Amino acid sequence: MSEQLIRALLLALLTALIALPVGYFVAQWAGWSVFCAGLALQMVFHFRNFARLERWSKAPVVDGNLEGEGSWDGIFGRLYRHEKDLREQIAKRDKEIAMLIEAGQALTDGVVLLDQNNHILFCNTTAETQLALVIRTDRGQPIVNLVRQPEFVHYLQEADFSRPLTLRSDRSEDRVLSIYMIPYAGDRRLMQIKDVTQTDRLDRMRRDFVANVSHELRTPLTVLAGFLETLQEIELDRDERQRYLGMMSEQSTRMEMIVQDLLTLSSIESAPPPQNDIVDMANLIDKLRRDAEGLSHGRHTIIAETDGRGDLSGAEPELVSAFGNLVANAVRYTPPGGTVRISWHANAQGAEFAVQDSGIGIDPKHIPRLTERFYRVDRGRSRDAGGTGLGLAIVKHSLSRHQAQLEIKSTPGVGSRFAAHFPANRIVGL
């Protein structure tokens, strides 16, 4: 029997014990009146506390105390502590959930949680960017309504998640995503999205590189083999023989140049950090101007521009080769009558070496790929101009080894500007 009930019965008994002598000695009605008044007082007391409990249960507050009277105090105290414990547990869980969500947000991979019908339950900010989702409005939406590429829809329908899906973003063609579907909590799915743009690009570059080297070397080799066959099979007079030998020599020089550039590239790639020669920039700019004039044979106006301030600290042969390639390209891709401007400017913040030309220019879509090996805007034009397609790859590698950035600005038909930006710690003698 509950403590509360025993107390109530005892109080009723006590009231009866007081009422009995009154009824016996005074009058029966007086005894009943005392008994009823006692019970009524008890009821008022209980109703008061009950009403208090009712009020509190509608809006339980744990920062203000819930106080009861008499035997109610113990009940209220236990209820209050229970409510307080519950709230503390909920707050702790909320904190843990918030931390888990924060961890999900911090992931560099995109994460989308889907229910059994492929409706979105949650996604982190990386996934929002990758798939153009907005969780605030997209929660509860079927994912196929928002990621509509047929290959993705097919992947979900097939439900064979043993291999990831490679998806090219429909917003930016350059972005490649790899999607893994991982089952969890029975029939729910966790979509993990990796941005593999860089790996995909490197893979493509490697494939292109092998194909390009083979192609670049095969062309002069085939020509050489053809000439050799002709020389072996056909009697030629002395002049014709000389002409054939001259053309063969041209092809072998071409092959030599390609192999030389490949060796330069691979030696730059595997070399230890560049030693710190002091490169006299005023001298180098002058030499580059003379080289440009030699290449141009007077067909261009060559301008060298420097205030003579600051020299570079780095591997001189690499820097000379990088700058030389930029100057040679400017002359090569500028029609006769054009201008090539070579400049060097340094200050305490850093320095810029730039080559600007008024040449054929480059369509913006080619610019991000120009420094890839063998990437050429116009293969025929480059070959005719004596290019190997490796010049800018060498430039980029040499510059990045000196913590310099290559900036390319170009307008087709107007000209190009290739600028190398060096950090302050590479500049000496200011």
Q: Which residues bind ligand ADP (CB under 6 A)?
A: 325, 329-330, 333, 357, 359-360, 362, 370, 375-378, 382, 387-393, 416
Our CB check for ligand ADP shows the closer of 176 and 390 to be 390
CB 411 to ligand ADP: min, Å: 10
Q: 410 pairs with which residues across the strands?
A: 416
Are 252 and 224 a contacting pair, CB within 8 Å?
Answer: yes
The CA distance from 206 to 211, in Å, is 9
* Shortest distance in whole angstroms from residue 217 CB to ligand ADP: 15
Task: Name the residue nearer to ligand ADP (CB basis): 220 or 391.
Answer: 391
Nearer to ligand ADP, 294 or 412 (CB): 412
Nearer to ligand ADP, 111 or 393 (CB): 393
Residue closer to ligand ADP (CB basis): 38 or 391: 391
Looking only at the bridges linking them, the beta strands covering 301-306 and 339-347 are parallel
- Residue 394 CB, nearest approach to ligand ADP (Å): 8
Contacts of range 251-255, beta carbons closer than 8 Å, 24 or more positions apart? 251/220, 251/221, 251/223, 251/224, 251/227, 252/220, 252/224, 254/220, 255/217, 255/220, 255/221
Q: Compute the least distance from the CB of residue 256 to ligand ADP, in Å.
A: 14
Report the nearest approach of ligand ADP to the CB of residue 332 (Å): 6
Minimum distance from residue 330 beta carbon to ligand ADP (Å): 5
List the strands of the sheet with 188-195, edge to edge: 120-123, 110-114, 188-195, 176-184, 165-168
Nearer to ligand ADP, 133 or 331 (CB): 331
**5-11: Cβ within 8 A, 24+ apart:** 7/71, 8/42, 8/46, 11/38, 11/42
Q: Report yes or no: 249 and 257 within 8 Å, Cβ to Cβ.
A: no
Nearer to ligand ADP, 316 or 378 (CB): 378
Q: What backbone torsions phi and psi does residue 175 show, to the nearest 5 degrees?
A: -90, 125
Q: How far is the CB of 379 from ligand ADP (least distance, A)?
A: 8
Query: What does residue 167 show for φ and ψ, rounded to 5 degrees?
Result: -125, 125
Alpha-helical (H) ranges within 26-120 are 28-58, 72-106
Q: Nearer to ligand ADP by C-beta: 350 or 389?
A: 389
* C-beta closer to ligand ADP: residue 274 or 387: 387
Shortest spacing between CB 325 and ligand ADP, in angstroms: 6
Contact assessment for residue 410 and residue 364, using Cβ atoms and an 8 Å cutoff: yes
Q: How far is CA 147 from the centre of its chain?
A: 19
- Minimum CB separation of residue 352 from ligand ADP in Å reads 17
